[in-house]
Amino acid sequence: MTHARPTRKPPRPLDRGRLQELAIHYVGRFATTRAKLASYLQRKLRERGWDGEHPPDLGALVERLAELGYIDDAAFALGKARSLGQRGYGERRIDQALRQAGIDDDDGVAARSLASEGAVMAAVRFARRRRIGPFAIGLADPKERDRALSAMLRAGHSFDLSRRLVNLSPDAGVDIDRLAQTLES
């Protein structure tokens, strides 16, 4: 015997107060950007509908939360760049992530600068994690080197830096700091 699931009542349409509550709950739970918050609120409006006299002014609500300090696009961008750089991703990949998050050029200046300054160390971290170049177990054949180069490029590293790292011979006692200094020059 199968039991029918009880049907759910559709959620109540949003009004100004409920929309503000949703926005505050979202920024309290997630590190976010203005663009991501606006996208979330638009989705909620599509799902639940609007029960106000005038259309909601999402831009004003988002800007108000930014003025109050609940949203800081520049800090979000810096944190994202730092996190991706520590995981070994390059400048292009970081820039792509910032653009996807809706970070404008002004708010992303410090983050892009951080990514640029740490590009070599990020590439070395990526190579180490993926056992590429000096971190490889043995000499790679040309096909393996091509795959490693492709992986480095997909991770957002420059072609020149990626090529130099991939072409280094394996070295069990590689000093990461010295390697980074060598690659920077």
The tens digit of pLDDT for each residue in 126-154 reads: 999 999 989 988 887 899 999 999 999 99
Domain count across the chain: 3
Same domain? 63 vs 86: no
Q: Collapsing DSSP states into helix, strand and coil, what is residue 13?
A: coil
- Report yes or no on 95 lying in a domain: yes
The C-alpha torsion from 169 through 127 and 123 to 75, rounded to 10°, is: -160
Residue 49 resides in a domain: yes
Confidence of residue 1 (pLDDT cuts 50, 70, 90): low
pLDDT tens-digit profile of 73-91? 999 999 999 999 999 999 9
Beta bridge partners of 14: 50
On whether residue 6 sits in a domain, the answer given is no
Q: What is the pLDDT of residues 153-164, one digit of tens each?
A: 999 999 999 999
Cβ-proximal residues to 71 (8 Å cutoff; 6+ apart), any chain: 27, 32, 33, 34, 37, 62, 65
59/81 same-domain check: no
Tokens standing for 126? 């990526």
Higher-pLDDT residue of 184, 23? 23
Q: Is the pLDDT of residue 175 over 90?
A: no
Residue numbers of the domain that contains 90 = 73-117
Burial 131-167 (b: 16+ CB within 10 A, else e): ebbbbbeeebeeeebeebbebbbebbbbeebbeebbe
Residues 123 and 177 in one domain: yes
Global pTM reads 0.85
Q: Are residues 103 and 50 in the same domain?
A: no
